[in-house]
Amino acid sequence: MNTIKIALIGVGYIADYHARGLQTIPNVEIVCVVSKRIESAKKFAAKYDIKEAYTDIQKVIDNGEIDGVIISTPNQFHAPYAISFLESGKDVFLEKPMGMNPEEGRQIDAAAKANNRLVMVGHMWRFDIDTNYIKDAIDAGKLGRIFKTKGYGIHENWGPEGWFTKKELAGGGALADMGVHAIDTVRYLIGDPKPVKVYARISTEFGDYDVDDTGIIIITWDNEVESIIESGWWHPHMDGPEASTGLFGTKGYASLFPTLLKLTTGVESSEEIVPDLPKREDHCAQIIYTKQMEHFVDCIKSRTPPIPGILEGQIVLDIVNAAYKSSETGEAVNL
């Protein structure tokens, strides 16, 4: 079997998860890593025994042997880098969010189609075992018809620094950083419906930066589910960890993180089911990212469009953009 050759763009926190995951997959080689600073690139390369370290993505663009590229850079570079790699015949994995705005998402889509290349987007909670336990229960009809959800993407007593807090580089704040996890997770759980309306109140409460650190978003989906999403940094309390979601159905309730089912059994009575799932050493466990990389590599081999891919990434961009518009105008935005 031919070796799948991968390049890593960016050496920040998330790149370690991708590198560790890729190195567990047979017949995969990380051939090079690119960072703004050569010292950082060389240090990362030495850590994972990667042969080449660069500061210029052109060397990756020009290398015809590279099959796929993992982009883990500030959001500002997602679209331009992705388009350059797609045009040079490489499949692309993009960290979330896919771009700075919906237009960039459409540009990536056009480049992928024009060059017959694949794009995967890093909405990694779709690969989590707890998430899929809840999804299976919903799909089996155990909760009846889902009519309301509450999801969270909040950092408690903490917030990021650097490019995350600069609108020019990130496109948005806590909503673009953490809220996107809650949005895509609930969308996956309820069957990937399309959004039809978004209402939001978004503000900056904790930092001296030009991005948001507080948000409440209400999404109306085309399957008549209403989703409340809370995003934030530095909040004094959070009702659940990243991607935590509560789902209310006509026959019961499901909670993701902590993961359980509460099924209605009669008037004023219910049965609580706590599944025997593997213990989580870390909330954002390595296995999620490893499964994500396995899916990307499998798609490169089979030429099958990844899920989450461009469609999933674009819908999240559309919702985030609509939320910012709604918060500015005070009105709901139709999609």
- Is 312 among the domain residues? no
pLDDT at 44: 98
pTM of the full structure: 0.97
257 shares a domain with 242 = yes
Could you tell me the pLDDT band of residue 1, with boundaries at 50, 70 and 90?
Answer: low
321 shares a domain with 202 = yes
85 shares a domain with 159 = no
Q: Is the peptide bond before 97 cis (omega within 30 degrees of 0)?
A: yes
pLDDT, tens digit (0-9, with 9 covering 90-100), for 196-231: 999 999 999 999 999 999 999 999 999 999 999 999
Average pLDDT over residues 72-91: 98
Name the amino acid, one letter, at 305.
P
250 shares a domain with 291 = no
* CATH code, domain with 321: 3.30.360.10
CA distances to 36, 177, 183 from 73, rounded to whole Å, are: 10, 13, 21
- Is 43 among the domain residues? yes
pLDDT, tens digit (0-9, with 9 covering 90-100), for 91-124: 999 999 999 999 999 999 999 999 999 999 999 9
163 shares a domain with 234 = yes
Q: Which domain holds residue 140?
A: 125-280+317-334
Helix (H) or strand (E) holding 146: strand 146-156
Match 């950092």 to its residue by tokens.
Answer: 155
135 shares a domain with 193 = yes
273 shares a domain with 161 = yes
Q: Are 236 and 158 in contact (CB under 8 A)?
A: no
Q: Are 244 and 229 in contact (CB under 8 A)?
A: no
Name the amino acid, one letter, at 189.
L
Average pLDDT over residues 230-244: 98
Count of structural domains, the chain: 2
Burial of 223 (0-12, 13-18, 19+ CB in 10 A): middle
Q: Are 227 and 149 in contact (CB under 8 A)?
A: yes
148 shares a domain with 91 = no
292 shares a domain with 162 = no
The mean of the pLDDT values for the chain is 97
251 shares a domain with 239 = yes
* CATH code, domain with 70: 3.40.50.720
User: Dihedral angle at the C-alpha atoms of 54, 291, 258, 201, nearest 10 degrees?
Assistant: 50
Name the amino acid, one letter, at 250.
T
pLDDT, tens digit (0-9, with 9 covering 90-100), for 271-326: 999 999 999 989 999 999 999 999 999 999 999 999 999 999 999 999 999 999 99
pLDDT, tens digit (0-9, with 9 covering 90-100), for 56-75: 999 999 999 999 999 999 99
